[in-house]
Amino acid sequence: MKDMRGFEAVTGQEGKEPVSRRDFFSLVGWGGFLAAMAGVGVGSFKFYVPTVLYEPPTTFKIGPPKDYGVGVDTRWKTIGQFWVVKEDQGMYALISICRHLGCTPNWFPDQERFRCPCHGSIYDVNGNVRGGPAPRTLWRAAISLDPVDGQIIVNTAVRQDPDPKSIEGIAVFVDPEPRKVAPFYIQI
Amino acid sequence: MIDRLVKYVRDSQVWQSIFRHGYPDTDRNQSLVMFSSVLLHLHPVKIRRSALKFRYTMCLGGLSAFMFLLLTFTGIFLMFYYVPDTRAAYGNIKDITSNVFMGGLMRDLHKWSAEAMVFLVWAHMFRVFMTGAYKAPRELNWVVGCILLTATLLLSWTGYLLPWDQLALWAITVGTKMAEATPFIGYAGPWGQQLGFRVDNDIRFLLIGGTVVGQNALLRFYVLHCVALPVIITLGMVVHFWRIRKDGFSGPL
Amino acid sequence: MAERDTTENIFPRNPKKSYALMELVKGQGFQTRKQPEDTVFVWPHLLYIELIAAVTFLAGLLWVCTFKHAPLEDMASADTTPNPMKAPWYFLGLQELLVFFDPWLAGMVLPVLMIVGLMAIPYLDVNPKGVGYWAWRERPFAIWTFNFGFLLWWIFIIIGVFFRGLDWAWYWPWDDWSQHKVASSATLNDMNVILQGWGMGAAGADWATYVLTILYFVVFLALPAVLWRGFSKQLGAVRYIIVWGLFAAMMLSPLKVFLRLAFNIKYFMVTPWFKL
């Protein structure tokens, strides 16, 4: 095989196709170019990923349990995006973010339902979906008692989200009893 | 006197360097004006009389392009008084509407021409479909048109985040939650979590630069709205017009 | 061959001139089937039309601006969602779709399919007729399919704009839009749960929904080949599958709306990874 100047190309072992100098440089050139472009791509992507975040706090100290009456308490919704629900034996915190597309549902005491203004999802007090498009149940936030002053601490970054199933009458349902475990439930 | 002045100006080197020929009232000059002007050469020199019929195009495509120009114009004005900062943006919009001279008009025009553009682009697509203008050899131009349609909707979407009012926040919350539900690359979508995506590394996190819609989201959407998407749409329009010229107008023969 | 007389008639030879018409010959020229070009200069004819259109439209916009101002709601607050939260009208079709489908489908897959499907149109339409004029009868399938989808999009928008009120409930124009509606007492069920209610085992009901869903697509992919053989042959295998696959995807939305409204079905198929 001859290259363009007519020199015999360096041949390798018998029976193998030799790579001409022209092909070799072409390969190295284009390979290097593509590798550099790939590097630019990866670099641009990594540049686009924020490394430092300044986001609102997720932990709230919300006072002692005796401040809350039985039922759904909405006072923290506008501050920390969660509701405090008190039952006879315990308390839990529901995160007020609709599991459909993230709007903030409203609590209707007369209907005993949370209803979302964006796409009409309806939840009951356990967070189970009673209507509308929501695909999962409302998150429950981590809740605990401060051992020092006895106040409730809610952390909305830690969330309970069991897989729902479908039962007769409730399309998105999670049995509320097994959800009553630490750190998502406090006994009082 | 005035005639002499006009003649002096018209014969000057400056005038001659800008306008290479006389007023386009002769065949020759009407052709030359199309060749020599960068803006006008988007048009052919001559066009079939039947293609001028309003009933055929209803001016929808041209008006969409005009809306884009008007939006660029009003958008640049708005940018002088707007800071993409979550603490300042809402107040800036209030200032623009109530204090800045003609600021309210600029914002109103920007808003309504944006809505008009969405409508016109849809209507233009409908017209092109109904008259079969997408068929060979104009397939590629239809595809480019679809890209322009998508870019128009994305421009609208990134635009209404900027005033940082309730609509802005919740529309973006909802819109980016959809991104979160993308299969494979969003953590709430099918196979997202199985592929290792979390709330702080999936497609939504990239889009809004955080886990909640906040300052990073506003800045990102501002850059997309004012720079990235207009550049994309301009390039698309260049190709779109170029292909009409090259493939010919589909109008009645 | 030669038509000497005609030639002489049209252009008599003049000995004083150095040129003359030699001969007129009957035959086919390359211009025979074309009508005379009826063209006009773009300057001024087209440019004035464009200018008038632009100025008229701008005047209309300015007129709108005098009495209708761009809306500005309260300052963003992450804690309270306005009720109802309506996107601008051009996205309300999508928002309405989200009521019936999971976000991954209504928010991502269906819109992407719409755009990709639109882009694919020129490569799927094999009918060469109807270029350059408003044609209805020459391409019925293309026109009906496109208009059905386009109409569906606008119906969803109209529902979103005029019939959705507080809590995204259905409001008629004559209802009191300031009063909350009582949440519908009807409970939503999944298809497999309904089948279980009819006496099927849990696994059997699951499989029945899978089979039904696959059957839906099979019907859309098989039926046209039987009903319209000529048209299907024209399309070819690849185009045929894409066309009817996209068609089936488009028909999913009216079907799901119907199932939801008529039978209170939330999902017609449930898998561990996604729900339809």
Size of interface A-C (CB pairs under 8 A): 95
Instruction: Give the closest-approach CA distance of C66 to chain A in angstroms.
Output: 31
Instruction: Give the closest-approach CA distance of C212 to chain B in angstroms.
Output: 21
What are the distances in angstroms from CA B79 to CA A174, B83, B171, B216? 50, 8, 22, 18
Q: Best residue in B32, B40, B139, B146 to probe C by mutation, most C CBs within 10 Å?
A: B146
Q: What is the mean pLDDT of residues C84-101?
A: 88
Q: From chain C, pick out residues whose CB is under 8 angstroms from the CB of B252.
A: 132-133
More confident residue, C105 or C78: C105
SS3 C270: strand
Q: What is the mean pLDDT of residues C54-80?
A: 90
Q: Which ranges of chain B does DSSP label H, i.e. alpha helix?
A: 2-11, 13-18, 27-36, 54-57, 60-79, 89-98, 103-130, 139-159, 166-180, 203-208, 215-223, 229-247
Q: What is the mean pLDDT of residues A3-25?
A: 66
Q: What is the CA radius of gyration of chain B?
A: 23
The pair of structure tokens assigned to B22 is: 């006389």
> A66-79, pLDDT tens digit by residue?
888 888 988 888 88
- Going by the DSSP 8-state scheme, the letter that residue A2 receives in this structure is B
**Is the model's pLDDT at A85 over the cut of 80?**
yes
Which distant-in-sequence residues (6+ apart) come within 8 Å of C11 by Cβ?
C20, C21
Task: Output the average pLDDT for chain C.
Answer: 85
For residue A90, list its beta bridge partners.
A187
The CA distance from B232 to B234, in Å, is: 5
**Is the model's pLDDT at C150 over the cut of 90?**
yes
- By Cβ distance, the residue of A81, A132, A166 closest to C78 is A81
Q: What is the mean pLDDT of residues B199-213?
A: 87
Choose the final residue of a domain: A28, A54, A80. A54
Domain count, chain A: 2
Q: Best residue in B86, B87, B166, B174 to probe A by mutation, most A CBs within 10 Å?
A: B174
- Give the CATH number, domain containing residue A159: 2.102.10.10
Choose the final residue of a domain: A54, A71, A92. A54
Residues A41, A68, single domain; the answer is no
Q: Are B207 and B179 in contact (CB under 8 A)?
A: yes
> B48-98, pLDDT tens digit by residue?
777 777 777 888 999 999 999 999 999 999 999 999 999 999 999 999 999
Residues A48, A65, single domain; the answer is no
Per-residue pLDDT, C31: 55
Q: What is the mean pLDDT of residues A75-89?
A: 88
Any CB–CB contact under 8 A between C126 and chain B? no
Q: Which residue of A has its CA nearest to C197?
A: A168
* Residue B82 φ then ψ, to 5°: -115, 130
Handedness of CA B95, B98, B103, B105 (dihedral sign): positive
Domain of residue A25 covers: 1-54
Per-residue pLDDT, B252: 56
Residues A21, A110, single domain; the answer is no
**Is the model's pLDDT at B132 over the cut of 60?**
yes
**Stretch 164-203 of chain C: residues touching chain B, C-beta under 8 Å:** none
Q: Best residue in B170, B185, B199, B203 to probe A by mutation, most A CBs within 10 Å?
A: B170
Per-residue pLDDT, B55: 77
More confident residue, B145 or C138: B145
**Stretch 179-208 of chain B: residues touching chain A, C-beta under 8 Å:** 201, 205-206
Q: What is the mean pLDDT of residues C127-132?
A: 84
**Is the model's pLDDT at A15 over the cut of 70?**
no
For C103, how many CA atoms within 13 A lie in the half-sphere containing its CB? 25
Residue-wise DSSP of C122-145:
HHH-------SS--SSS-HHHHHH
- By Cβ distance, the residue of B170, B206, B212 closest to A49 is B206
The pair of structure tokens assigned to B33 is: 């004006």
Per-residue pLDDT, C35: 61
Provide the strand spans (E) within chain C. 39-41
CB contact under 8 A, C45 and B52: yes
Q: From chain B, pick out residues whose CB is under 8 angstroms from the CB of C79.
A: none
Domain B53-247 top-level CATH class: mainly alpha
Per-residue pLDDT, B141: 93
- By Cβ distance, the residue of A48, A56, A101 closest to B174 is A101
- By Cβ distance, the residue of A117, A167, A168 closest to C84 is A117
Residues A140, A118, single domain; the answer is yes
- By Cβ distance, the residue of B173, B201, B210 closest to A55 is B210
Residues A70, A155, single domain; the answer is yes
Which distant-in-sequence residues (6+ apart) come within 8 Å of B203 by Cβ?
B179, B180, B182, B185, B186, B197
How far out from the chain centre does Cα A174 lie?
A: 19
Q: How confident is the model at residue A1 (pLDDT cuts 50, 70, 90)?
A: very low
Domain count, chain C: 1
How far out from the chain centre does Cα A171 lie?
A: 22
Residue ranges per structural domain of chain B: 1-46, 53-247
Q: What is the mean pLDDT of residues C172-181?
A: 85
